[in-house]
Structure 1
Amino acid sequence: MTDDKKTLFNKLESINEEAHNYAYNLWEEAGRLEDEHGYTDEVEEKKILASDEQASSFKEIFNKELTIEQKKLFWKLVKNADQDPDRGLIEQYLDWFCNNSERMKICLIKEMSKLATNQYFADLFQIKNFNYLED
C-alpha cells in the first residue's frame, strides 16, 4: 500500500468517526428502541435516518478536509476497486460516503453488471468538480 493510500485511508477513518459523532443520538435512539421492542420497522427507519445523517456529515467533512489530490485518489480507487487488493476497505469507505438511496443505486449497478461512467459517479454523488474522476 502506498503512503498516499495509507494517509487517505487514515483520514477516511477519522472522518467517519467524526461523522458518527454527529449522528450519535440517532444511533443511540435506534439501539434503545431495538433493545426495548426488538427489530421493528421503526427501528429500521431510525437506523436509516442515522445512517443518512452520518453519510451527510461524512460528505461535508470529506469535501472540506481532503485535498483535491486525496479526492482524486479516492474516486480512482472507487472506480477501480475490483482490481485493488484493498477492495473491501474501499467499498466500506464508499459505503460511509453514501446515503441509503445512493447505496441502493450502487447495488443496482453491480447487479446489472454495468460499469459506472464518470458522469454517473458525478451525478450520483453530486460532484461539482468533475475532474476528480479523470481516467
Structure 2
Amino acid sequence: MPDLSAIARERAALATIADAIVAASVDKGLRIEVACPTSRLAVVDHLAQALHARGRVCRCRAAGSEPGEAGSPGVVVITGGSASDTDRGVFRVGVRVTGAPGQDGGDPDIVLDYEDPNGPMIRHLASHLSAGDRHA
C-alpha cells in the first residue's frame, strides 16, 4: 500500500515547482529537461500533468528523440507552450531528481530530493523561478 503522506508531499512539491515554472514562463514556450533515475520517471508525467492543469499544453519525450538533437541518458524533456499561440521565445528549465545530496552534477534550476526521510523535498529552486521574477 502506498504511503499517502509521501504522495501528498510529492504532489505539494510538484505543485510548487509547476506554479514557479508557469509564473516565470508567461508568454514563452517551455523546454524542461528532467534528469532522473528510471525508478522516478513517473515524476515527469506528474509534473507535465501539473503544468497542463495550469494551462500549459505539454508533451513528454526522451531527450534526443527529435532529429538532430543530442540526447542524454536518463533525461526526459517536457516541451510545450501556453494554451494560446502567443508564445515568444522558449523558457528553459533544468530539473534533477536526485537521491543523496551532493549528486546534483551541474547547475540544475530545480533539485527534487526523493531520499529525504520526510519525503520528497525541493532542495534547490533557482532565483529566476522565484515569484515575481520573470527573467530567464
Q: Normalising by structure 2, what TM-score?
A: 0.30
Q: Normalising by structure 1, what TM-score?
A: 0.31
Greater relative contact order, per chain length (Cα 8 Å cut-off, separation 6+) = 2
Structure whose residues are more often strand by fraction: 2
